[in-house]
Amino acid sequence: MLVDVLGAAATVGLIMFYIPQVIAMHRARELRGFSLPAWVSLLVAVICLTLVGLLADLKLLMAANVVSTVAVTYAIVQIVRKG
């Protein structure tokens, strides 16, 4: 139970960090100041958290991080295109 709560809290914290940034990236014409290596590191982290959710059978953690993986991948594509 504690693992579920901690996993959910970590996932919510990650989402609260990057979703406003992804929205700003979507709206911006150019993306100066966004670090591609940092976003790639975040992508690695959310993929790892997805795998943890899969291996530990934590469906909420897995589902949330699948969504996170899509959003972070979108951000990376935006940085590459507009950066």
Does this model's pTM top 0.85? My answer is no
CA neighbor of 54 nearest in space, from 64, 41, 68? 64
| 49 or 3, which is more confident | 49
Give the CATH class of 2-82: mainly alpha
Query: For residues 50 and 52, what is the distance between their CA atoms, to the nearest angstrom?
Result: 5
Chain centroid offset of residue 34 CA: 15
Quick one: pLDDT at residue 16? 86
**In the numeric block, which tokens belong to residue 50?**
């997805």
The pLDDT tens digits for 5-56 are 887 787 788 788 888 989 999 999 988 888 999 999 999 999 998 999 899 8
State the Cα–Cα distance between residues 19 and 55, nearest whole angstrom: 26
Residues 6+ positions from 71 with CB-CB distance below 8 Å: 18, 19, 22
Listed by start position, the domains of the chain span 2-82
Phi/psi at 28 (nearest 5 deg)? -75, 150
